[in-house]
Amino acid sequence: MKSDSRKVIYAALGANSLIAVSKFVAASITGSSAMLSEGVHSVVDTGNQGLLLLGMRRAKKPADAAHPFGYGAEIFFWAFVVAILIFAVGAGISFYEGVYKLLNPHPIEKAYINYIVLGLAFVFEAFAWVIAYKEFRKAQGNRRKFRLFTAVRQSKDPATFTVLFEDSAAMLGLVVAAAGVAPRTRSGSNGPTA
């Protein structure tokens, strides 16, 4: 049974676009570096979905003299580029912001805004994750045992499992960001700093 990768990618693209805007607005209001890092992460994720759509479009090109077997493998290349961007750009910006705020801490203003945005972002990411998971399972057909890593290795559709893993990492990142916004319990602390 074939999955609908475009549906998965468009769901993630829409969710990540809305999440990115809301995170940047919240970061500008509160001054939270955790929220700023999360906003950058959502922009990277939005770009990732664009690259996956590009890869899917290029993979459909017919064979020519330069590529006698066609362009079908391009989707795997673009999924690889997406994986590199998730780790390099997302982690790099988050690391930079973390070090900067450790060296220059200041209290977060209106921390409740961060929690609202993080909660909504988690709901939107979870919605996109459910769509990706259902499509991934649908592509597996009626196999009795479902082993995730075996299914990924055997999959012919890297776009769906790339979005599934990206959304899983994004939800974990949201939990970490919420922990970063949490009030400190040290004596003399007036609230969270980030």
186 has a pLDDT exceeding 60:
no
53 has a pLDDT exceeding 60:
yes
108 has a pLDDT exceeding 80:
no
Q: Which range, 57-61, 121-125, 181-185, has the best average confidence (pLDDT)?
A: 121-125
Summary mean pLDDT of the chain: 78
Query: Residue 1: what pLDDT?
Result: 41
94 has a pLDDT exceeding 60:
yes
Residues 146-168: tens digit of each pLDDT:
676 676 677 667 777 778 888 88
* % the chain with pLDDT above 90: 4
CA distance 136 to 40: 27
90 has a pLDDT exceeding 50:
yes
| 169-186 average pLDDT score | 75
Query: Residue 127: what pLDDT?
Result: 92
Query: Residue 123: what pLDDT?
Result: 92
What does CATH list as the number for 5-181?
Answer: 1.20.1510
40 has a pLDDT exceeding 50:
yes
* pLDDT band at residue 122 under the 50/70/90 scheme: very high
Query: Residue 188: what pLDDT?
Result: 45
